[in-house]
Amino acid sequence: MEQEVIKVENLSFSYEKEKKILNNVSFSINKGEYVTLIGHNGSGKSTLAKLLSYILEPNKGKIYIDNEELNEKNIKNIRNKIGIVFQNPDNQFIGSTVEDDIAFGLENRNIKQEEMKKIVKEYSKKVGMENYLTKEPEELSGGQKQRVAIAGILALNLKIMIFDEATSMLDPEGVEEIRNLILRMKKENPDLTVISITHDIEEAYLSDRVIVLNEGKIYKNDIPSKVFENEEEMKKINLDIPFVLKIKNKLKTKGIEIDENIKTIEELAKYICL
């Protein structure tokens, strides 16, 4: 029996009365799943992210996190279960150095100093920032800052992580870094639930499940290979399909079958060349 950690029920939201940004959205996410939420600009995905992190309050409908309703009363409790990585790497870097920033959430939880030192060391290693502990944010790239933010959240040992367009302000290298980090993180801790709201279709292709939003409604909610099956359909809602899949489809028309499990460009290149 799979355990539901996030349940969204009939969620609706509008800034003004006439136009609904989100219209009756329902879905649920199980423990340990890696779900990506995609959609073109104006599809309502950023609004959904804000609702999930309780920056906005829904007009109608409910969000349950770990069987607790997300509301004013519960929010402090629920903040101990979800961590959010935001879009702008600068505006979530709170400490003056890398180690101070990783420790910020731990300080808030009143954890003892010796323990904190250990945790900071451990998690900075996990995100590959152990050699940058005393660096200031100005000396780091965007991708490195996001890695620090991820370490700061991982260190709190939370059940759910939300990536709120965490890669949209990064350069391609940074995007790649974060994408690989999420996958590695998932491998190390299969119980961690990850929801990533993203522009990055390549990332969506690597996740367990993709939820496609279009004009405030759920357009598709399925495993990536099913979601991206029909290129025409995706183009209609202004979304593209992953590059690897495009090549696979082209090859297919030429009569060359490629293994279902191949999902990254490197793997594909290896497969074709060997």
Rounded Cα distance between 15 and 69, Å, is 22
| Nearer to another protein (CB atom), residue 153 or residue 245 | 153
| Nearer to another protein (CB atom), residue 150 or residue 245 | 150
Q: Supply the minimum distance, in Å, between the C-beta of residue 136 and another protein.
A: 7
Q: Supply the minimum distance, in Å, between the C-beta of residue 161 and another protein.
A: 11
Rounded Cα distance between 62 and 58, Å, is 7
Q: Supply the minimum distance, in Å, between the C-beta of residue 145 and another protein.
A: 11
Measured in whole angstroms, the distance separating CA 27 from the mean position of its chain's CA atoms is 16
Q: Supply the minimum distance, in Å, between the C-beta of residue 66 and another protein.
A: 16
Closest CA to 206 of 188, 232, 187: 187
| Nearer to another protein (CB atom), residue 153 or residue 239 | 153
What values do phi and psi take at 177, rounded to 5?
-55, -50
| Nearer to another protein (CB atom), residue 141 or residue 221 | 141
Under 8 Å between Cβ of 218 and 37: no
Interface residues toward another protein, by CB under 8 A? 53, 55, 76, 79-80, 83-84, 86, 88, 90-97, 99-100, 103-113, 116-117, 120, 134, 136-138, 152-153, 156
Q: Supply the minimum distance, in Å, between the C-beta of residue 130 and another protein.
A: 16
110, containing H or E segment: none
Place of tokens 């991820």: 150
Closest CA to 136 of 145, 127, 128: 145
Closest CA to 249 of 239, 257, 261: 257
Q: Supply the minimum distance, in Å, between the C-beta of residue 235 and another protein.
A: 33
Q: Supply the minimum distance, in Å, between the C-beta of residue 174 and another protein.
A: 17
Residue type, 88: N
Q: How many CB atoms lie within 10 A of CB 16?
A: 7
What values do phi and psi take at 257, rounded to 5?
-90, 140
| Nearer to another protein (CB atom), residue 116 or residue 237 | 116
| Nearer to another protein (CB atom), residue 52 or residue 234 | 52
| Nearer to another protein (CB atom), residue 96 or residue 180 | 96
